[in-house]
Amino acid sequence: MSIARLTDAERAAALGTLPGWNLREDGLAIVRTLKFGDFNEAFGFMTRVAIEADKRDHHPEWFNVYNRVEITLTTHDAEGLSERDVALARFIDGIAPAA
C-alpha cells in the first residue's frame, strides 16, 4: 500500500505540534523516550499502544527495559514519515505520563 511521505515542510510543522518527540538524525523517523513508575505501568502503556497500533495497522518500533520505553515511529511503506506516524504520536501523547 502506498502511503504519502510528509514533505520537509509538513514534517517540520508536525514536529512543532509534538513536544517531547525528536526527529531521528536521518530525518526518517520521530523518537521519544518515556519513563514510568515501574515495569507494570510501562507494559500497561505498551499494551494500550499495541492495541491501538493494530487497529490502525501502523506499528511502533520500540524498546523497553523496566520503566523506560523508547519509541520510534516511521512508515516503512513511505520510507519516511507519514501522517500515520503523526497520528499515532498524538495518541501516544494522549496517554503518556506527564513529563
For ligand HBI, the binding residues (CB under 6 A) are: 1, 57-59, 74-77
Q: Are 65 and 35 in contact (CB under 8 A)?
A: no
State which residue, 78 or 96, has the beta carbon closest to ligand HBI: 78
Cα distance between residue 75 and residue 84, in whole Å: 7
Alpha helices in 8-98, H assignment, sequence order = 8-16, 39-56, 83-95
State which residue, 71 or 96, has the beta carbon closest to ligand HBI: 71
Q: Are 21 and 64 in contact (CB under 8 A)?
A: no
Name the minimum Å distance from CB 92 to ligand HBI: 13
Name the minimum Å distance from CB 41 to ligand HBI: 24
Name the minimum Å distance from CB 69 to ligand HBI: 16
State which residue, 88 or 96, has the beta carbon closest to ligand HBI: 88
Residues 6+ apart with CB under 8 A from 12: none
